[in-house]
Structure formats: structure tokens, C-alpha cells
Amino acid sequence: MQAMSWHINILTLFPEMFPGSLDQSLSGKALARGDWGYDAINIRDFGEGVHKTVDDSPYGGGAGMLMRADVVERALLSIKAPGRKIYLSPRGTPLNQSLVKELSEETALTLLCGRYEGVDQRVLDAHEFEEISIGDYVLSGGEPAALILMDACVRLLPGVMGNDDTHDNESFGSATGGLLEYPHYTRPATWESETGKAFSVPDVLTQGNHAKIDEWRRAQSEMLTKERRPDLLKK
């Protein structure tokens, strides 16, 4: 893990969308402590002419507009230490926990948030942007995707969560063998729902036999993963 603070540059047409929810809770406290920081760079400031134009229509026709290569490049070149350059895009590498871990260990990242139909390919090629997707659906802009990527990384930074070992025991973690996490229960041992039904905690969890508890949790993880995400078992 890096000793320096984790720094994120965000290239966006909507800088006011940052830090968004990340100024709350643990990520907000970590931001205030300086464990991580960000600069939201307004691409509009690098637009063309009096109207600060940032977009143009696509060659070959088709619906929508594209963010211009020259404008995005000017915005990018204003960043002193861009680090790893990432374009949030539905056609990118799917974001998963091992990629999140890798990105949380960088010292700097630059996240390009697309709008309209996307970005002129040439600026992505010229500056060797990686493309990362947060899932197989289309958002109206890259900003929510950037916030999700940042949230997932920030919670892995040293000291952000109370116990750094927690991550390995979570879904997709190394201690769970990359599987989904088992179910959790807290007090009371029997809870009566307003539906009129009573639900009890599985006996094994109340008997203090830690070998048996580990065995039960492992079996639950395997069962849930088989039911919900058989693709993870193949990995």
C-alpha cells in the first residue's frame, strides 16, 4: 500500500457532482483527514470560442454529439500528475474487486467522465486511456461511475475502515476465496417480525464453536455463490 495520499483527478462537465456522497461517513472523514483528495476539472473551461464549445457531431452521422478530442486533451494536459488514465465507459473492462484493489494502490488516477454519445476516440488513443465499465447498462454520464469506482477504492485505503482485515472477509475477498459473503445476524436471537412470523439465528452461531462456525459460513458462501453467481465459482 502507498504511504502518500491517494489523489484522483476527475475530468468532467459537471464538477459540482463531486465529492457527492463521498463527503459522508467513513470516506468523508478520510477526505477531511487528507487520506485521499481529488480535483474536479471542468472540461468546459477548455472549450472552444466564446461559447466554450466542448462537443461536435460525429463523422459518419448518427444520433447525438461527441466530446471533442482537442478540448479533452487541453483539460488533460492541465493536470500536473495524471497517473493512470481511465475513461469510464460501458465498453470497458468490467470493474471488479481485484481491479478496485489495484487502483487503490496507485498514487494518482485521472478519471474521464463522458457525456453525450461519448468521446472522440483519438484523444483516448493518443493518451492511452484504459476503459473501465461499472456494469452492462448505459448511464447518461461517467460521473456516477467515477463516484462508484472512487467509493470502492477509498474504503480499501489504509486506516479508512476500522479494521483493514475486514476486506479479505467480504464478498469477493481473499479469505472468502472470491465467493459471496455468508448471511449475518445480530441480537435478539429470536426476532418477531410485524408479518407475524418469528425468525431465529442459526444454532451454530450461538454455540461458540468457532471451527463449526467457520465451516457453516464457508458452506453458506458456497451455496449462495452457486445459486446466485455460478460464474464466480468457475474463476
Which parts of this chain interact with ligand SAM (CB under 6 A)? 88-91, 113-115, 117-118, 133-135, 137-142, 145
Of residues 127 and 218, the one with the C-beta less far from ligand SAM = 127
Of residues 20 and 141, the one with the C-beta less far from ligand SAM = 141
**In the bound complex, what is the minimum distance in angstroms from residue 153's beta carbon to ligand SAM?**
15
Of residues 75 and 145, the one with the C-beta less far from ligand SAM = 145
Strand ranges inside 95-210, DSSP E: 108-113, 130-133, 190-192, 198-200
Of residues 89 and 176, the one with the C-beta less far from ligand SAM = 89
**In the bound complex, what is the minimum distance in angstroms from residue 177's beta carbon to ligand SAM?**
27
Q: Which amino acid appears at position 141 of this protein?
A: G
With 0-12 CB in 10 A as exposed, 13-18 as middle and 19+ as buried, what is 114? buried
Residue nearest to ligand SAM (CB): 114
Ramachandran assignment for 20, one of left (phi > 0), alpha (psi -120 to 50 degrees), beta (any other): left
**In the bound complex, what is the minimum distance in angstroms from residue 91's beta carbon to ligand SAM?**
5
- Give the whole-angstrom CA distance, residue 201 versus residue 220: 14
**In the bound complex, what is the minimum distance in angstroms from residue 96's beta carbon to ligand SAM?**
13
| Contact assessment for residue 103 and residue 156, using Cβ atoms and an 8 Å cutoff | no
